[in-house]
Amino acid sequence: MSQSPATDWQARAAQLREKIERANYRYHVLDDPEITDADYDRAMRELEALEDAHPQLAAADSPTRRVGARAQGGFAEVRHAKPMLSLNNAFELDGDDDRERFREVAEFERRIEQTLDRRSPVFSVEPKLDGLAISLRYEDGAFVQGATRGDGETGEDVTANLRTVRAIPLRLRGEDWPRVLEVRGEVIMLHKDFEAFNERARAAGEKTLANPRNGAAGSLRQLDPAITARRKLSFFAYAIGDVEGGELPQSHSKTLATLRDWGFPVSPEVATAKGFDGLIAYYRRIGAKRDALPYDIDGVVYKLDDYEGQRAMGFVSRAPRWAIAHKFPAQEQTTTVEAIEIQIGRTGAATPVARLAPVQVAGVTVTNATLHNADQVARLDVRVGDTVIVRRAGDVIPEVVRVMPELRPAHTQAWHMPSHCPVCGSALLREEGEAAWRCSGGLICPAQRKEALIHFAARRAMDIEGIGERFVDALVDFGYVHTPADLYRLTLDDFLEMKRRADERDGTTPETVRQGKVATKWAENLIEAIEASKHTTLPRFLFALGIMHIGESTAKTLAAWLGSLAMIRRMPATILRVLPDVGSEVAASIAGFFAQQGNQQVVDKLLAAGIVFADETHASPKLRDRLDLAVLLDKADVNKLGPKSTRLLADRFPTLDQLLAAGQAHWIVAGLPSAAATNLEAFLAEETNLRPLREAAAAMHELLASIPKASAEQASPLEGQTVVLTGTLSSLSRDEAKDRLEALGAKVAGSVSKKTSFVVAGEAAGSKLDKAQELGVAVWDEAQLLALLARHEGGS
């Protein structure tokens, strides 16, 4: 039986259609994709090419002619008043110049020029958001129905879920909106919300989201809106559907501006551009920014701006001829796992890492991807030899998203965390309730020493330029550096010798005179950078120490409240816990770090090396409001001794000595219930209870005594006030307003709550203004803000 070439391509087309349809179903209906976007695009393009070559093949039901798969049960169906269209795609091709590389864009633009007989038409240019398309219907200004796109004709009624998305206005702002208005756009999940969700899921041993798009889609398809509400979603508007009883502007860009006025978020990246060159310039600009954007995009969209031109261009099979999506290279790719290794971090955490067959992901070659922790490996069931989907988005470390079990070779084995550290051989241990296994070797583990050094030298820490990974390896391996303090003892000769040994070990070329000079210059620069790092700030230094759970913001809190390293390194956990955003775990970690002699010695050596802080000061006077004996007694958690009782005792006996000297009888006379007094007496009789309390009380006394007596001038007139900025201010930028308010002691928050002191509403203020009104929080205008700033600035 011989096969004609005709049946060959027929069979191939059928195969591709099935693949695409299955992928559509998994992606659009089940929200559980099976192949990568890149694989999908490839199949689609191959099928399109086949159908172009053999038009008789192109059945009306081909996936190339369809927007998406049909919605599945669970939600009521919604017929869209106007169909929700799809966009044709343009990809980057091979070629030497822009017109070749972006031929599809050039053809799109030329077709418009020719059809409309216009030179360099104006386009609305927008990011192509990677979320879920939805349609929002407003009647008389009220949100009445929200639907998914579904197959473009019929979607699912997800009104209840969309109501939980805060970016979606429940009522339109402003006026002059049409009686019926359908706004379309994309529901997305921001990177930070996606990361936070997955972090929580991982910690709880639950299923993680493969990517933010799945996060948005999966959340909207929850039958229980309460679940949707807990997953933070965002929304950007980019199109209009049905409009009745009113007028819209004559161009898309003006419509978007109007939508913004009516309370819809529109991506801040939206702009206009002229002609082919303008389009490509925008593509490049957004492409360069892609990794820094707070959400995923998979390309940019060009839309002919004026509606008259749009009408004249019309549609071809469900996609407009006046718009096109210009796609970026995909952020997900498939590759195979060659090994699973363990990386030991600065705090000893053992992170499984997949070594991959090199693959290009979004323009970068990826050879490693994180597997996060042992639970994640078990959940994904990643094995050596597996074909996996890797994803790289933004600055985030590439990660393994999913395994493709159908491609698993025979005889693979499930992976298990090794029992010992691959670097130092110490046992790997896991604490109760923790996801991470840790190497128990501490600083005897070279891996931890190296990570600690790299962290210490990092830009946001001590900022020592030139301490790259390779030199840290050599510094530690050859024994030049055991702790960060050793860095400050190294001489020019040490560096040169170390470099020679490193080159030798790596088999790098032998030394010539010229190279000798280069090496000397390198070492001199390094010494200079180390020297320069001695002048630093207290938060940087604290962050650089690499204390577990101490990020930059906690370091700033410590410095702002306690003022000096001398205080911070002496404070017990009980005292640290009164600082804002310092919980028991963080407090224990800081106190635990400084409780170790070795760490205190390293700090002493660093100070002896000449490290100085420009910003050391005394402890904050605000501590007086947060810290007294009542607080210490509260933290001691004595049975039956509630906050009222501790308050009473602290007011009557302000120091621990006075409290002890008074004794049970006097406490009762002072008004303490006798049961509480008995319990307290018994509690204080135990040396194991009394000692930490004495220590805490002594530390508290020392800390409070170090605060200078209140001066007549008040430096922070807005102390204790929380301000929220919303909308656009005309005479100063939001950042500037924030800086100036903070300089006066106010806290500037991102969202409105009952605790908000006042909201400053500029032009086009949105949901935060609504929230303020709902909660009865004071709303100020720009003039009031300026008057306030004028009153306090420079005058304090």
Neighbours of 105 (CB within 10 A): 22
Q: Which is nearer to ligand IVH, 269 or 497 (CB)?
A: 269
Binding residues among 309-368 for ligand IVH as defined by CB under 6 A: 320, 323, 325
Using alpha carbons, list the distances in angstroms from residue 389 to 15, 37, 212, 405.
Answer: 22, 10, 15, 11
Tell me whether residue 99 or residue 318 sits nearer to ligand IVH (CB atom).
Answer: 318
- State the minimum distance, in angstroms, from the CB of residue 89 to ligand IVH: 7
Q: What residues form DSSP beta bridges with 128? A: 299
48-77 binders of ligand IVH (CB under 6 A): none
Please choose, out of 81-89, 524-532, 612-620, 635-643, the segment that lies near ligand IVH by the rule CB under 6 A.
Answer: 81-89
Tokens of 674: 């006798």
- Could you list the residues known to form a binding site for Zn(2+), using ranges: 421, 424, 445
Annotate each residue in 118-157 with x if it binds ligand IVH (CB under 6 A) or - if it does not, as one string.
--------x-xx---x---------------x--------
* Residue 550 binding ligand IVH, by CB under 6 A: no
Catalytic, 521? Answer: no
Identify the three-state secondary structure at position 484. Answer: helix
Q: Nearest distance from residue 750's CB to ligand IVH, in Å?
A: 25
Residue closer to ligand IVH, measured from CB, 259 or 761: 259
Strand, coil or helix: 304: strand
At 122 the three-state DSSP class reads strand
Residue 290 binds to ligand IVH (criterion: CB under 6 A): no
- Of 330, 340, 403, the closest CA to residue 369 belongs to 340
The residue (of 126 and 156) whose beta carbon lies closer to ligand IVH is 126
3-state per-residue secondary structure call for 314-363: CEECCEECCEEEEECCCCEEEEEEEEEEEEECCCCEEEEEEEEEEEEECC
CB of 67 or CB of 388, closer to ligand IVH: 67
Q: Which of 19, 128, 232, 450 is catalytic?
A: 128
Count of residues in contact with ligand IVH, rule CB under 6 A: 15
Of 78 and 133, the one with the shorter C-beta distance to ligand IVH is 133
Tokens at residue 78, please?
């919604």
The residue among 78 and 301 lying less far from ligand IVH, judged by its C-beta, is 301
Contact 169, 262 (CB under 8 A): yes
Cα distance between residue 784 and residue 728, in whole Å: 15
**Residue 146 tokens, joined:** 């929200």
Q: Which of 71, 183, 239, 401 binds ligand IVH (CB under 6 A)?
A: 239
Q: Which residues contact 601 (CB under 8 A, 6 or more apart)?
A: none
Helix (H, G, I), strand (E, B) or coil at 118: coil
Least spacing, CB of residue 125 vs ligand IVH, in Å: 9
Mapped onto helix, strand or coil, the DSSP state of residue 695 is helix
Asked if 183 is part of the footprint of ligand IVH (rule: CB under 6 A), the reply reads no
Neighbours of 696 (CB within 10 A): 24
- 271 touching ligand IVH, by CB under 6 A: no
CB nearest ligand IVH: which residue?
133
Contact stretch for ligand IVH (CB under 6 A) within 37-45, 83-91, 489-497, 775-783: 83-91
Name the minimum Å distance from CB 270 to ligand IVH. Answer: 8
Q: How many residues does the chain have?
A: 796
Instruction: Say how far apart CA 588 and CA 576 lie, in whole Å.
Output: 8
Fill in the DSSP letter of residue 398: P
Q: How far is the CB of 218 from ligand IVH (least distance, A)?
A: 16
Q: Exactly one of 38, 57, 58, 85 binds ligand IVH (CB under 6 A); which one?
A: 85
The amino acid at 624: R
Active site residues: 128
Binding positions for ligand IVH, rule: CB under 6 A: 85-87, 126, 128-129, 133, 149, 186, 238-239, 301, 320, 323, 325
